[in-house]
Amino acid sequence: MTATVLARPAPLSRGLRFELVKLVSQWRIRLVVLACWIAPGLFVAAVSQQSTLPVDTLFGRWMHATGWAGALVMLGFAGTWALPLLTSLVAGDVFASEDRLGTWRHLLVAVRSPRRIFVAKTLASLTVIVLMVAGLLVSSVAGGLLAVGNQPLAGLDGHLLSTGDTAARVLLAWVCVLAPTLALAAIGLLGSVLLGRSPMGLLLPALVALALQLAQMLPIPVAVRLALPGYAFISWNGLFTEPAQLGPLLIGIAVGLVWAVVATTLAYVLFLRRDFTSVSHDGIGRRAILAGVLPLAGLLVASVVVIGATTGATASGIDQDKVQRSVATAFAHLYRIQTGQLNRPDVTEAQLGATADCNKGGGKLDPEGAGNDWRCVVSWHLPDTPATGQAVYQLDLTPDGRYMADGDGPKEVNGYFLVHTPAGDAPNPLWQFDGNVDLLANEPKG
Amino acid sequence: MDRPLAVRARGITKSFGEVIALDEIDLDVAPGQIHGLVGPNGAGKTTLLGLLLGLAVADGGKLEILGTPIRRALDAPDGVAGFVDGPGLYPSLTARQNLAALATLRGRDARSAGIDEALDQVGLTDVADDRTGGFSLGMRQRLGLAAALLTEPRLLVLDEPSNGLDPIGTRHVHRVLTALAAGGTGIVLSSHRMDDVETLCSEVTILATGRVVFSGPLSKLAAENRELDYRLRTSDPARARTVAEKAPGITVVEDEVVRALVPALDELVTALMRDGIAIRELTPVVSPLEAAFLALTEGSK
C-alpha cells in the first residue's frame, strides 16, 4: 500500500494574495482607499483657498503661507479621526468577516495552517492600512503644493525650516504616526479575533483611540501620558522645533510599537487556541476576553513604571521655566519673520535676547501645569534702541504641552493687523501663535 | 486490496466539554462508493464530517483517510475536498473569482485549473461572472461542489449538499456525484432526506446521539424484519376492517391503516379477495427506509 502524501499548507505568499483579493474585492475598502488618495488633496486645496483657516488644528494658521502646512493639518486630523477609523475598518474586521460569512472551515481546509492564516491576514491588513496612510500623505502634500506652493514652513517654535528640511520632517512625522496606527491596528486584530461577529470588535480601535484622546486631555502625570499607545499622534510635533523634542517622540513610537507587538501576539495566541469544529462559534468566551485585556492592562502599568523610573517624570511636565523659554524662543523667531514682512532691517534672535516672564492665575497660582490662565510678558532689545520692548500674551496651555499664545498688546507689536507676504496679505505672525513645551526636558538646553 | 479505503474509522470518539458528540464510531467508505450519513439534528453528522476533512482530530479511536492515519488536526492527505456547514464563499467575489482565488491558493494557474469545466458541470456557467452575494442557497451549494471538483478529489465530504436545490440543480449535483464515484472517488454526504440517499447512495450509516445505529447497504436496511404501517383502500372499508381485525398478524391502526409484516399482509390480501372486496391501494405510509430510520433513531432516544 502506497503511503499518501499529506497535504502541505498553502505557502504564505499565496495566502497573503488570497487575503488581499478578499479585502480589495470589498466595495467599502475600495472606496476608502480611493478616498484616502483623493479627499485629503481636495480638502487641503479647498481650505487653502478659504479666508478663514482651521487655526484650532496645529499648523492650520500657516496653510496660506506654505503647501506643507496642509499635510500637517491632515496629520493632526488623521491622528484624531481618520487613522482610528481606518484601522477599525480594516484590521477590526479581517478575522470577524470570516465569522460573519461562516467561511472559517472552508479557509482552514484550503490553507491547512491557522498560523499562516493569521500571518497572511495580519500582513494583508497591514498592507491595506499602509496603502491608506500613504494615500493620505501623498494626497495632502500634493494638494498643498499644487494649491499653495513649496514655501518654507515656520516650525512650532517659529523658526523657519527650509523647504527640503520641511519635506523631510513632514515625511518623517507621517512615518512616526505609523507606530500608534499599528498599535490601533493590532488592537483591532485582537478585537476581531476575540469578539467575532459582535460589532464591538469592529469598533474597538476607534473606541480605544477615543479613550486615549480623552485621557490625553486630562491632567495626568507625564509618565502615564507617554505610556499611552496613542501618544505619538501628539508628539510628532516635536519634530518641528529646534532642537527637535526627540525624547517624547521616541518614547511614543516605542510604546506604540510595543503595543502593536504585544496585542498582535495576544491575538495570535488566542487565535491558535480557538476551536473551529464546534458549530456555533461566536467569538471567544469571557475568560478569553480577560486573557486579551489583562495583559494589555499589565503592559500599560509596566510602561508607566518604566517610563516613570527612567525619565523621572511624574508631575505634569509643565513648569514656569519651560513655558518662559518656549514663549521667548517662539517670539524671537516670529519677531524676525515679522521684521522681514514689514521690510525693517533684519535682526537676529541673539540680538533680540528675548525673555519671557510668565505667571498663572494672575500670580496667585503655582505657575505649573495646564490652564488658560497663563500670562506672559515678553521683553526684548533692538540693537539700536536703548529701550526694552515689552509685549503681553495670554496663553491657553493644554495638558499635552501645547499652547496657543494670544497677543494682548501693545497693538503695534502683537495686535491684529495684516502684513504683506509673498503669499498675499496675512495676519501679523506675532498676533497669535502655536507653541509647545517639551514635557520631558529637565535642564535648559545650551 | 490494491487501493486503500477512502475512509476507515474505528472507535472514533469526540466530545465538546461534557457533551459527547461521537461515541465509538466505525465507518468504512470504499473508493467509488457514495456513502450516506443520516440522522436527526445533533446526531453528530457534521462533527464526523469535520473529522474527515481534518478540521479537528478525534479524542479517541483510529482514523485513516485514503490510507493515511490522521493524528493531528488539519493533517489530511492530498485529495480530500468538501465542506461542512455550507460552502465557504466570499460574497464580494464572483463565482469565477471564488474558484480562481481558491485555485491560486492551492498553487495552480487560475486559467488552467479547470474552472470553466467545473462551473459547467454544476450548471453555473451562465452566472459565472455574477457576485456570489446574490446567489440562492442552491446555487451556493453547487458552487461549493464546483470548488471541490477543482482539486480532483479522491475523498469528497459534503454536508447536506442537496439543501435548497431545485429539481434541475438536484439533477446536476446527482450527475456530478455519480460521475465522480464512477471515477473512483469515495463520497460521504450527510442528508436528512431519505429520498436523496435512496437515489444516490449504495451504503448508509445512521447516526443517533453520537452512535452508529445502522451501517450497511440500503437493501439491508429496507429488508430488516420490521412491521410497517400500510394504507389499505378497498371497495368496502367497513367489511375490510372486519376481515383485517380477524386476520392473524395484522393490527388495525386506524381506518384504512394496518400494521403488519409482509407475509401477514400477503395473507390479508388473499382473504380480502376471497370475500370479494376489491383492493384499490396498498402502500406503505412512510417509505421502508424512512420507517427504518425513524424506528432506529427514535429507539435510541
Nearest CA in chain B to A16: B105
Q: How far apart are CA B136 and CA B95, in angstroms?
A: 12
For residue B219, pLDDT over 80 is answered with: no
Scan residues 4-23 of B and list those with Cβ closer than 8 Å to A.
4, 16
Q: Please report the pLDDT score of residue A2 as a whole number.
A: 45
Q: Please report the pLDDT score of residue B300 as a whole number.
A: 54
pLDDT tens string A203-212: 889 999 999 9
Q: Please report the pLDDT score of residue A30 as a whole number.
A: 95
Most confident of A1-10, A374-383, B225-234: A374-383
DSSP per residue, A412-444: HHHSS-EEEETTEEEE-TTTEEEEE--SS--SP
Cell of A282: 461566536
Q: How far apart are CA A237 and CA B148, in angstroms?
A: 55
Please state the rounded mean pLDDT for residues B164-187: 91
Look at A17 and B104 and tell me if their CB atoms are within 8 Å: yes
Task: Judge whether A141 and A71 are in contact, CB under 8 Å.
Answer: yes
Q: Please report the pLDDT score of residue A398 as a whole number.
A: 92
> Residue ranges per domain, chain B?
7-222, 224-299
**pLDDT confidence band for A422 (50 / 70 / 90):** confident
Q: Which of B74, B106, B157 to mutate to test the interface with A (most CBs of A within 10 A)?
A: B74
Please state the rounded mean pLDDT for residues B252-275: 88
Task: Judge whether B6 and B29 are in contact, CB under 8 Å.
Answer: yes
Tell me the residue type at A421. T
Task: Judge whether A207 and A425 are in contact, CB under 8 Å.
Answer: no
Prior bond of A205 cis (ω within 30°): no
Q: Is B110 on the interface with A (CB under 8 A)?
A: no
Share above pLDDT 90 across residues of chain B, in percent, rounded to a whole number: 34
* Domain B7-222 architecture: 3-Layer(aba) Sandwich (3.40)
For residue B224, pLDDT over 70 is answered with: no
Q: How far apart are CA A208 and CA A35, in angstroms?
A: 24
Q: B224-299: which CATH topology? A: Alpha-Beta Plaits (3.30.70)
Please state the rounded mean pLDDT for residues A64-78: 93
Q: How far apart are CA A185 and CA A179, in angstroms?
A: 10
Question: Counting Cβ atoms within 10 Å, is residue B112 exposed (0-12), middle (13-18) or buried (19+)?
Answer: exposed
Please state the rounded mean pLDDT for residues A95-112: 87
Q: Which residues of A touch B84 (CB under 8 A)?
A: 105
End-to-end CA gap in chain A:
83
Q: How far apart are CA A372 and CA A177, in angstroms?
A: 28
Q: Which residues of B touch A15 (CB under 8 A)?
A: 105
Q: How far apart are CA A210 and CA A88, in angstroms?
A: 12
Q: How far apart are CA A151 and CA A161, in angstroms?
A: 9
Q: Please report the pLDDT score of residue A112 as a whole number.
A: 84
**In this structure, which long-range contacts are made by residues A417-423, counting pairs with CB atoms below 8 Å and at least 24 apart in sequence?**
A419/A338, A419/A341, A419/A342, A420/A341, A421/A65, A421/A341, A422/A151, A423/A64, A423/A65, A423/A66, A423/A148, A423/A149, A423/A151
Give B134→chain A minimum CA distance, Å.
13
The set of residues, in sequence order, having a beta carbon less than 8 Å from that of A60 and lying 6+ positions away, is A53, A54, A69, A73
Q: Please report the pLDDT score of residue B151 as a whole number.
A: 84
Look at A4 and B66 and tell me if their CB atoms are within 8 Å: yes
Q: Is B1 on the interface with A (CB under 8 A)?
A: yes
Which of A6, A14, A22 comes nearest B90 by C-beta?
A: A22
Q: Please report the pLDDT score of residue A364 as a whole number.
A: 84
Which of A3, A11, A279 comes nearest B68 by C-beta?
A: A3
Task: Judge whether A236 and A400 are in contact, CB under 8 Å.
Answer: no
DSSP per residue, A79-120: IIIIHHHHHHHHTTTTTHHHHHHT-HHHHHHHH--HHHHHHH
Q: What count of Cα atoms within 13 Å lies in the side-chain half-sphere of residue A6? A: 16
pLDDT tens string B67-95: 888 888 787 788 888 888 888 899 999 99
For residue A28, pLDDT over 70 is answered with: yes
pLDDT tens string A209-249: 999 999 999 988 889 999 999 999 999 999 999 888 999 99
Q: Please report the pLDDT score of residue A420 as a whole number.
A: 83
Q: Is B104 on the interface with A (CB under 8 A)?
A: yes
Look at A114 and B102 and tell me if their CB atoms are within 8 Å: no
Share above pLDDT 70 across residues of chain A, in percent, rounded to a whole number: 95
Q: Closest Cα partner for A320 from A275, A271, A357, A269?
A: A357
Identify the helix (H) or strand (E) that includes residue A256.
helix A246-273
Give B34→chain A minimum CA distance, Å.
21
pLDDT tens string B2-60: 678 899 999 999 888 788 888 999 999 999 999 999 888 888 888 899 889 888 888 88
The set of residues, in sequence order, having a beta carbon less than 8 Å from that of A139 and lying 6+ positions away, is A36, A37, A38, A39, A40, A41
For residue A446, pLDDT over 70 is answered with: no
Share above pLDDT 90 across residues of chain A, in percent, rounded to a whole number: 54
Cell of B112: 488552467
Look at A1 and B1 and tell me if their CB atoms are within 8 Å: yes
A347: left (phi over 0), alpha (psi -120 to 50) or beta: beta
> Residue ranges per domain, chain A?
12-311, 320-436
pLDDT tens string A159-215: 989 999 999 999 999 999 999 999 999 999 999 888 877 778 788 899 999 999 999
pLDDT tens string A261-319: 999 999 999 898 887 765 444 445 677 778 888 999 999 999 999 998 888 777 888 88
Q: Please report the pLDDT score of residue B299 as a whole number.
A: 61
DSSP per residue, A155-184: -TTSPEEPHHHHHHHHHHHHHHTHHHHHHH
Cell of A90: 480594516
Give A178→chain B minimum CA distance, Å.
29
User: CA-based Rg of chain B, rounded to a whole angstrom?
Assistant: 23
Please indicate whether residue A35 or residue A424 has the higher confidence score (pLDDT).
Answer: A35
pLDDT tens string A43-59: 999 999 888 888 888 89
Give A18→chain B minimum CA distance, Å.
6
Please indicate whether residue A387 or residue A278 has the higher confidence score (pLDDT).
Answer: A387
ipTM entry: 0.80
Q: Per-residue b/e over B156-185, b at no fewer than 16 CB within 10 Å? A: bbbbbbbeebeeebbebbbebbeebbeeeb
Q: Which residues of B touch A280 (CB under 8 A)?
A: none
Please state the rounded mean pLDDT for residues A144-172: 92
Look at A7 and B84 and tell me if their CB atoms are within 8 Å: no
Question: Counting Cβ atoms within 10 Å, is residue A152 exposed (0-12), middle (13-18) or buried (19+)?
Answer: middle
Mean pLDDT across chain B, nearest whole number? 87
Task: Judge whether B234 and B272 are in contact, CB under 8 Å.
Answer: yes
Q: Is B75 on the interface with A (CB under 8 A)?
A: yes
Look at B76 and A112 and tell me if their CB atoms are within 8 Å: yes
Q: Please report the pLDDT score of residue B225 as a whole number.
A: 64
**pLDDT confidence band for A445 (50 / 70 / 90):** very low
Tell me the residue type at B263. P
